[in-house]
Amino acid sequence: MPQADKRMVISLILKLAASHMFGLPFEHTPELFPHGIYTIPEISMVGLTEETLTSKKVPYEVGVAKYAELAKSMMLGDETGMLKLLFDQQTRKLLGVHALGQHATEIIHIGQAVLFYGGTVEYFRDMVFNYPTLAEAYKVAALDGLNKL
């Protein structure tokens, strides 16, 4: 097991033990643990995959933002990458987030928070993002997916 995974497991065990010791509720959601691969480019994801949704016959839509569409990517000099949102076609509930490119492991946590709270893709459409940032990809991907409905 990689060192980072060991630290995450130890941290989780300590939180669980402390919560139990003090009688505090502890929500354990391993399905919302983000995954990150620190390669060039970085790869990160949280939530469900298209393969899982297809096998479970969940009707979903995909919204994509290409880094080439973002001013921040142009400023960084690397327009290679993308952010993909998966969401339920009827409820518009966010189901998964996949990122490939610079800082993918950093921006994935925005999607993780929305997934944790059961938010919809409309959250990204309606929120204001700092400009220029890579986080703006969430709005671009949300608009792309919603325009397909």
**Residue 3: is its pLDDT beyond 80?**
no
pLDDT band at residue 45 using 50, 70 and 90 as cut-offs: very high
pLDDT of residue 102: 93
5: pLDDT strictly greater than 60:
no
**Span 36-64, average pLDDT:** 95
Residue among 44, 82, 33 nearest 62 (CA): 82
Pairing of strands 60-66, 81-88: antiparallel
Average pLDDT, the chain: 89
Confidence class of residue 2 from pLDDT cuts 50, 70 and 90? low
Q: For residues 72 and 64, what is the distance between their CA atoms, to the nearest angstrom?
A: 16
